[in-house]
Amino acid sequence: MKMLGKISSLLVKGCFLGNAVFAANANADGRQMLASLNSNYMTVERSLLEIANAGDANAQLRMAKIYEGRQDSQGVAKWYRKSAMNGNAEAQFQLGLLYIDGELTDGDREAGMFWVEQAAQQGHYQAKVVYQSLEEEEFTIGC
pLDDT at residue 39, as a whole number = 73
Alpha-carbon span 134 to 68, nearest angstrom: 25
In this structure, what CATH number is given to the domain that contains residue 125? 1.25.40.10
Domain residues for 128?
A: 57-143
Same domain (yes/no): 62, 38: no
In terms of domains, do 68 and 96 share one? Answer: yes
pTM exceeding 0.75: no
**What pLDDT does residue 41 have?**
72
Cα gap 26→99, rounded to integer Å: 45
Closest by CA position to 63, among listed 95, 36, 105, 53: 53
Residues 87 and 137 in one domain: yes
Query: pLDDT tens-digit profile of 5-28?
Result: 444 443 444 444 445 445 545 555
